Amino acid sequence: MNNNSFGIHSLQIIEFPLHETAGSFLVVYEGNNKVPFNIKRIFVVKSNEKNKRGFHAHKECSQLLVSLNGECLITCDDGKERKEFILNKTNEGILIPPTIWAEQDYSSNSTLLVLTDRMYDENDYIRDYNEFLNFRGNL
C-alpha cells in the first residue's frame, strides 16, 4: 500500500486487549503486534479544559491516537470526505496514516496518548488546508 491509497474509508478503530485485575486494568499497546510500525516517538497531550488541536496533515508520518482519560473527537479528512471518530476507551485507538488531515476536539480533563513511526520533523507537517488539498491532488 502506498500513500496514494489512504482514503478516509481506510481509517478504523483498533481494539487492544484489556487485562483486568482487582481494582485496575492494564492495556498493552506496543508489544502485542497491534501497532503496525516501530515506535519512534511517544507523547501525551493533557487538556484541562475543552480545546481543539491538530489542524494539520503529515506527509510521511503515521500516528496512533488513544484516549486515556476523557474523550477526544477526531475529525479526519482525505481532501474529499470527512469522517469523525470518538475516542473514549483506553483499549481503543485510531491509526491515522500519512496524507490525512486531522483535527482533535478534546473534552476537559482529557489525556491523549500518541505513538508515531517518525521523529519530529517540521517539514513533514502540512498546516495549511489549501496546501493540503493541493498535496492530495498531486498524489
For position 90 contacting its own copies by CB under 8 A, the verdict is yes
Using the contact rule CB under 8 A, the part of the chain among 1-9, 76-84, 114-122, 127-135 near its own copies is 114-122
User: Exactly one of 6, 29, 85, 101 binds its own copies (CB under 8 A); which one?
Assistant: 29
Q: Report the distance separating Cα 64 and Cα 67, nearest Å.
A: 10
Considering the complex, state which of residue 69 and residue 75 has its C-beta at the smaller distance from its own copies: 69
Is 9 among the residues known to form the active site? no
What CA–CA distances, in Å, run from 18 to 27, 33, 66, 88?
A: 5, 14, 13, 14
User: Exactly one of 37, 69, 75, 124 binds its own copies (CB under 8 A); which one?
Assistant: 69
Instruction: Please list, in sequence order, all residues whose beta carbon lies within 8 angstroms of the beta carbon of residue 13, skipping any fewer than 6 positions away.
Output: 85, 87, 92, 93, 94
For position 63 contacting its own copies by CB under 8 A, the verdict is no
Which cell numbers hold the place of 120?
519530529
Backbone φ and ψ for 46, nearest 5 degrees, come out as: -110, 130
For position 13 contacting its own copies by CB under 8 A, the verdict is no
Q: Report the distance separating Cα 84 and Cα 101, nearest Å.
A: 12
Q: Report the distance separating Cα 66 and Cα 16, nearest Å.
A: 10
- Kindly state the smallest distance separating residue 137's Cβ from its own copies, in Å: 31
User: Exactly one of 6, 85, 101, 106 binds its own copies (CB under 8 A); which one?
Assistant: 106
For position 6 contacting its own copies by CB under 8 A, the verdict is no
Interface residues with its own copies (CB under 8 A) are 21-31, 39-51, 53, 68-69, 90, 106, 111, 113, 115-116, 119-120
